[in-house]
A and B are shown apart, each in its own frame.
Chain A
Amino acid sequence: MSAPLYQNYHVHEEKPDNAHAGLWFDRFFNRYRVNNQDWEIPKPNDHQDAKRDWTKTVSGPVGQDKQLAEYTERQTALVRHLNGRNQRYQTDWHFVTGMGNPHPVENGFSWHPTLGVPYLAGSAVKGLVRAWVENNDDGLPIAEQKERLKRWFGTENKDDVAEQTGGFIFFDAIPDQKPNLLCDIMTPHMGDWYSDGDQGNVDNAIPADWHEPVPIPFLAVKKARLVFGIAPRLPALAEELDAVFDALTNALEWLGAGAKTAAGYGYFSPDANFLHEQEAAFARQAQALAEQRRQATLSPIDKKIEDFLKPIQAAEHDTRLLQALEEGAWQGEDAKVVAQKIKTLMEDAGKWMPDFTGENKKKCKFKQRSQNVLKYLQG
């Protein structure tokens, strides 16, 4: 899976700015050296370490904010449509997933196919929640817990024919803003013991302090926030959604997701701001939609009046409209509509007084203006 590219391919030396970081990571490892017609990766020395140096080319923020935000919006719309819910969780410390994938630097990484960011696949989320429910009975009797497992996740043993599929849909957990990656190092001190310990008769196959520590660089997530989505597959299960989210929260806080959880990787805490942000976003969307609907019902002239008034302070609406009307901005039927609008504005402001008889200077001005408008109204 990981072979060097042809030399005359003229690939980029460095990862281009907008590149899919996962593509770069999976396909463009360029630190091989030819030794006796064999491709090898140079061993680390004082000045350089090919694996570490290359891993650093992928570290830093990855992905594109706009795409991540749009994708999150689409996913939350889908989950909401299915009567499910989203919740965001933030990494407590580092997090790493997909280390088992093949890669020249030894440890792979799990990349989202189109967004180019680390993520947790829905299957991983489902397995995580299941692990929590299996280990923690929530005060339920054994029989009921078994029933819950089957209801939430489906039949466990699928050897023959699975009897029942799970009642909940677990979506991929995806960052909604750029995650930050770093080049992390693990240093197994007793490599021979780990790799050959079970052989028994190999030299050095004992855990002892004379082994050479070997630093192995690998790519990890330094900081990320992931949006999780869970939806009931059957309407009858909707009321258990909260319980499923509780299990997810507990699993992320206590079991951890991804690899190396025993070393403190992969723990997440719920992000309290998310629900507020989401509600605000939904309110904005609803408002925008209502505005869009209202605009659609406006006649062309009403629309023109609205556009004309947009940059003008409310207190000047009537005077400025009248000014434009007198300058001939509108003719015929349009002029009548505009005049009607001015009349309404003046009435609302208590300035409509075509029949005023008195000395008050201000009111006389309003009278004059009202009469001017009337001329247009009568055509």
Chain B
Amino acid sequence: MTSNNALIGLWTETSLHAGAGGSVEGIDLPIQREAHSSWPCVYGSAVKGALRAKAEDKFGKDNTSIKFVFGPDSDSDSASEHAGALLVGDARLLLLPVRSLNSHFKWVTCPAILERLQRDGRRLGIPLDFALPQKIDKTKVLLAEIDGNDLFLEEYRFSTEEAELTNMVQTLSRLSGIDESTLTAQLVIVHNDQFNYLSRYATSVAAHIAIDNNSKTVRKGALWYEETLPPETVLYCALSAYRSRDDKNSLPADAILNCITQDLLGASPYLQLGGNETVGMGWCKVAINQHQQA
């Protein structure tokens, strides 16, 4: 069965809270993370739900393409007739914005993340050609341009090393929609272990309270700590489309993919992911990368 694929880059415009449920380490509302790496992510089910919600808003709930692409409404009687033709992967972390004493923030990533990005690209037939960074010392960071100063990420001090990142910057720029000069100035590559630490402890955790309007004091028990991915986080998500699974009115794979990449996201390149929509969270700018067939 042939499939058509796309990689969509998600550049968060506002904080993003895709909640994991349950609390950990003093955080009442932690974000979703991958179990094995603890890197933040947004589960594929959440991304698919967000795409479906946007599509239903735009084309109406009864639109037949929506049924082909995402599958029949799970509340309807026809839920068991066929599955959706679109496969939506987890939104995976690519660049994490981390506060710095050298500039307002740096976009931090690590070899393991970049290597996985290339693997995802190969799987989808979307070539992402750049040289992976060689071994990085734990006390060092790689930068496209160094200025002689050590780099502070949060309270950690790193010595800097210049690296040839032109191709990588070009690829990441295409994938994310961030322009090359900004990326060149702000991209930082750290050792995998350091990245793990930063991705765990450099996300923002904000205290929230609820105020009782009559007494103007905090409502009893209403103090909670909520973790978010900060604005400027870059994630990417793999989409694979197959021929629609409804036997009668078959749509080919490229038409299924076009429903998302052109009709849904083409004219309106924003997607709201995760919770707290009404307090402005989760808005991502979408960049579409598709393998161009000759």
Do A and B associate with each other?
yes
| B157 at the A interface (CB under 8 A) | yes
Chain A residues in 8 Å Cβ range of B100:
19-20, 23
Tell yes or no: A304 within 8 A of B by CB. Answer: no
- A contact residues around B157 at 8 Å (CB): 9-11
Inter-chain contacts of A153 with B (CB < 8 A): 278
Q: Which residue of B lies closest to A71 (CB)?
A: B231
Is B209 touching A100 in the complex (CB atoms < 8 A)? yes
Q: Is B280 an interface residue when CB atoms closer than 8 A count as contact?
A: yes
A354 on the interface (CB 8 Å rule)?
A: no
CA distance A110 to B97 in the complex (A): 18
- A236 and B14 CA atoms in complex are apart in Å by 24
Decide yes or no whether B154 CB sits under 8 A from chain A: yes
Interface flag for A265 (CB, 8 Å): no
Q: Is the CB of B213 within 8 A of A74?
A: no
Cβ contacts under 8 Å, B209 to chain A: 100
Structural contact, A172 and B211, CB atoms closer than 8 A: no
Is the CB–CB distance between A16 and B101 below 8 Å?
A: yes
Band of interface residues on A: 35 or more
Residue from B15, B102, B213, B230 in contact with A18 in the complex, judged by beta carbons closer than 8 Å = B102
Q: Are A165 and B277 in contact (CB under 8 A)?
A: yes
- Binary interface encoding of chain A residues 101-123 relative to chain B, with 1 for a CB under 8 A from any of its CBs, else 0: 10000000010011110000111
CA distance A123 to B152 in the complex (A): 31
Asked if B278 contacts A170 (CB within 8 A), the reply is: yes
What is the bound-complex CA distance between A287 and B1, given in angstroms?
47
Which residues does chain B contribute within 8 Å of A113, judged by CB atoms?
Answer: 15, 97, 99, 105, 204, 230-231
- CA A24 – CA B103 in complex, angstroms? 11
B268 at the interface (CB under 8 A from A): yes
Contacting residues, chain B, for A352 (C-beta < 8 A)? none
Contact flag A170-B280 (CB < 8 Å), given A11-B157, A19-B102, A20-B101: yes
Query: With an 8 A cutoff between CB atoms, is B155 at the interface?
Result: yes
Specify which chain A residues have a CB less than 8 angstroms from the CB of B280 in the assembled complex.
122, 169-172, 229
A266 in the interface (beta carbon within 8 A): no
Most chain A CB inside 10 Å of its own CB: which residue of B101, B104, B278: B104
Contact with A along B156-195 (1 / 0, CB 8 A): 0100000000000000000000000000000000000000
Q: Are B101 and A19 in contact (CB under 8 A)?
A: yes
B-chain residues with CB within 8 Å of residue A18 when the two chains form the complex: 102-104
**With contacts A20-B99, A114-B104, A123-B208 known, is A78 near B13, CB below 8 A?**
yes
Instruction: Tell whether, in the assembled complex, residue A114 and residue B276 are in contact, meaning their CB atoms are under 8 Å apart.
Output: no
Contact (Cβ within 8 A) A75 B13: yes
Q: Cα distance A71–B209 when bound, in Å?
A: 27
Contact between chains at A172 and B155 (CB < 8 Å):
no
CB of B43 closer than 8 Å to a CB of A: no
Chain B residues contacting A258 (CB-CB under 8 Å) are none
Q: With A81-B268, A123-B276, A170-B279 in contact, do A12 and B204 touch (Cβ < 8 Å)?
A: no
Question: Is A64 in the interface zone, CB < 8 Å from B?
Answer: yes
Interface residues of A (CB under 8 A from B): 5, 9-12, 15-16, 18-20, 22-24, 27-28, 63-64, 67, 71, 74-75, 78, 81-82, 100-101, 110, 113-116, 121-123, 125-127, 130-131, 134-135, 153-154, 165-166, 168-172, 229, 233
Question: Could you give 25 example pairs across A and B, Cβ below 8 Å?
Answer: A11-B155, A12-B101, A16-B102, A19-B152, A20-B99, A23-B101, A23-B155, A28-B101, A63-B104, A74-B13, A78-B13, A78-B14, A100-B209, A101-B207, A113-B231, A114-B105, A114-B232, A121-B206, A122-B14, A122-B276, A135-B213, A165-B277, A169-B277, A171-B14, A233-B277
| A-B interface, 3 closest residue pairs, ranked by CB to CB distance from nearest | A122-B280, A171-B280, A122-B279
